[in-house]
Amino acid sequence: MTEAGLPTRVRVKAWALPGHIRTPGYLRGKTGEIERRLPAFPNPELLAYRLPAPEVPLLRVRFTMAEIWGPDTPHPDDTLDAEIYAHWLEPADAP
């Protein structure tokens, strides 16, 4: 488990929220592996509106192209890494 209380395999929450969101739509609901743990940063979803923004752990998550685009993607083992804030992640085996 990481310090953010997340196992290595994580899923991006499939939330559809309005506002200033730094979680790209194409990764929501997708499962990947934590590539590295980064420092915590002020939550940009609040910072963007000049609200008090508590720091949130940031994680780099690695996804396979097959996971993002489906098994028919021409290079399924190529990868995509993205930075995702901890509150957008849940264990991959969560219901």
Partner 1 sequence: MPHDHTHPHPLRPDQDGPLTEAQLTEIALRELLIEKGVLTPAQITAQVTAMDARSPANGAAVVARAWTDPAFRERLLTNGSAACREMGYDIGTLNLIAVENTAVTHNVIVCTLCSCYPRNLLGLPPDWYKSRAYRSRTVRDPRGVLAEFGTTLREGMTVRVHDSTADMRYIVVPERPAGTEGLDAEALAAMVTRDGMIGVTRL
Residue from the set 17, 38, 51, 94 that interacts with partner 1 by CB under 8 A: 38
Q: Which long-range CB contacts under 8 A does 45-49 form with residues at least 24 apart?
A: 45/17, 45/19, 45/20, 45/21, 48/19, 48/20, 49/19, 49/20
Q: Quote the least distance from Cβ 26 to partner 1, whole Å.
A: 7
Residue 44 makes contact with partner 1 by CB under 8 A: yes
Binding residues (CB under 8 A) for partner 1: these are 22-24, 26, 38-39, 41, 44, 58, 60, 68-69, 74-75, 77-85
